Each structure stands twice: as C-alpha cells, then as structure tokens.
Structure 1
Amino acid sequence: MSTPAHRLAGLGLALPSPPAPVAAYVRAVRTGSLLFTSGQLPFVDGALEVTGQVAEGSDQVPPERARELAATAALNALAVVAAEVGGLERVRAVKLVGYVASAPGFTGQPGVVDGASRLLLDVLGEAGRHARSAVGVASLPLGAPVEVELVVEVADGS
C-alpha cells in the first residue's frame, strides 16, 4: 500500500519545515476532526522565489509558473498539517481555497490553483479529492503570486 510519504518520495519531494506565521496568527487551528491551515505562500527555504501578478506577458508571472507555485504553497500546507497531527496518513482533504494575484483581465485562476489540487491528489491519493475555490485578487501578502488554504479531516487517533 502506498502511503503519502512513499508518494512524496516518488515525486522527488519532501515536506519542508512548516513556515512560521509572519504576523499575529497561528499556522493552523483544529476543531473536532477538522484542521484549518492559515494561508500558505509558496515559500522555498523561507523566501518567495517569484513575486508579482499572474497573467500572460513578459512582465507578469506566467500562469504555468504560478501553477507550480500553487503546488509549492500546497506542499507547505501539507507540511503544516503533518506537523500538527503527526503525519499525513490519517488525513483527508476537504476544501482547498486558492488565491491568485491576478493582473486585470486574467481569468485563468482555476488552472493556476489546479497545481495545488494535483499535488494533493498525487500525495494523498483518493484522500486528496476535495472541494475547491479559485479566487482572483489584486495582490497577496509579500507580493506572492498565489496563496492556498487547506481544510483537512483527521481520522480518530490523534
């Protein structure tokens, strides 16, 4: 049986250290069997590799790159989940909300946020199927092109 840890390794990925909050909030809150993460940016080693709005054009973040960044943000959200509940084996994705810093006229938010959705499916398997919202916004914290929030259900035993 393939576990989330095996799937991560098969993808050539590892969970990063959970990003620390950048203001007065906690990285996750649990109520009952649900765990809600705070919004996660696509930090790699504590820094954003890319900033700006998403759109086609030479001075914008291309949608394909933003899709990769959404996957990175989702990986950070999974790192938070794993730290909070002791791993990913007992979690099922419930809801993903993705925010895309969108240049005027950009309407490809669903395609960008799909990077995060695909990562959840790749890592969690069937437990990664989730409801989702993809929202375009004018800007995001620290100039990030994308941000994701994740709600997971944690099975008994935690």
Structure 2
Amino acid sequence: MAHEETPEHRLADLGIELPPVPPAAGLYAPAARSGSQLYISGQVPRAADGSGVAAVGKLGQDVTVEEGAALARLCALQALAIARAELGSLDRVVRVVRVAGYVASAPGFTGHPAVVNGASQLLLDVFGDAGRHARIAIGVAELPAGVPVEVEFLFEVA
C-alpha cells in the first residue's frame, strides 16, 4: 500500500538520514519561530564526524561548482535537522518561503546560483511544490571558518 507523500516519507524514500543538529557557533539560536514562520540561522557545512567544517576555500579557486553545490545541500540537510528538532516533524512545514545563499568567491567567479542550487534542489526533492522558494545567491569575500558556502532558510510552518 502506498503511503501519503509527506516530507518525512520523501526523506525516507530518498534514503536520506538527517545529520545531528549542529550546535550554535556563537551567541544565537539555531532557529527562531515567530508565529507561522521558522527562521533557521545560517548553516555552514559541518563535517559528518563533528570535527569541524566539511571544507574550506573559495569557489572559482579551490572549490568547484559541483563541490560547492554538494556543500550547500549539506547546509540544507542541517537546516532540516534543526527544523525537525524544533517542530517534531518536517510534515509541519507548510512551505519553504526563502533561501539565502552566501558563496565565498574568488575574483571573477559568477556561478553563485549554481552553487546554491544544491540547497534548492534538496528542498524541492523533500517538499515537492511546497519547496519552491524565493532565493538570493550572493558572492562574498569570506565566510566563517573559511567555508565556501553558508545558507539560511525561512519556512512557513503549522
């Protein structure tokens, strides 16, 4: 018997296990809820073993677009872990409202949207049409700990 297509079921169907909720790295909360909005603080890609960041470097110099997209996807997985911890279930996400991606870029690099697509594609895979969101992809000189990408998220929740 087929099950209802919910975000939690889609995660299972895709064989995705969410990582542990990453700790805040400063004087902020990993998430803040205001009414029906859940803001997820900027996520940097963390190493699976908890030893620190997953990568350092700049796009267009040390990191390829494909590697950057995989790191943005990891940021989205971490955000989903935080959302699940806050809400109890990703099935309470009504829609993804906005994604903001920051890409540490070497001079002349302009492929920011392709990098942030790594996060956007995961959200579409997990939430279907409700995962289509407004977005910005910005190139920056430096990011915390030298990571190549940082992504923040805004969800509408029930």
TM norm. shorter chain > 0.5 = yes
Deviations 1:98-143 (A, max 9, x none): 0100111100000000110000000111111110000100111011
Q: Which secondary structure state, in structure 2, belongs to the residue aligned with residue 6 of structure 1? A: helix
1:9 counterpart = 2:43: no
C-alpha distance after superposition, 1:16-58 (max 9, x if no partner)? 1111101111111111100111100111322322111011x5x
Percent of aligned pairs with the same residue?
A: 55
- What CA distance in whole angstroms lies between the structure 2 residues aligned with 1:123 and 1:23? 29
Question: Could you say which residue in structure 1 is the equivalent of 2:146?
Answer: 143
Q: Distance in 1 between matches of 2:106 and 2:89?
A: 37
SS at match of 2:43: coil
Unaligned runs of 5+ in 2: none
Letter in 1 for 2:112: Q
Question: Is residue 59 of structure 2 the alignment partner of residue 54 of structure 1?
Answer: yes
* Corresponding position of 1:34: 37
CA distance in structure 2 between the aligned counterparts of 1:38 and 1:20, rounded to whole angstroms = 11
Number of residue pairs matched? Answer: 152
TM-superposed deviation, 1:4: 1.6
Q: Which residue does 1:90 correspond to in 2?
A: 92
**Equivalent position SS for 1:48:** coil
Cα distance in structure 1, aligned partners of 2:77 and 2:54: 15
Deviation at 1:15, TM superposition (A): 1.2
**Structure 1: runs of 5 or more not aligned:** none
Q: CA deviation at 1:10?
A: 2.4
Deviation beyond 4 Å, 4+ runs, structure 1: none
The equivalent of 1:133 in structure 2 is: 136
* Superposition CA RMSD, Å: 1.1
Q: Secondary structure at the match of 1:100?
A: strand
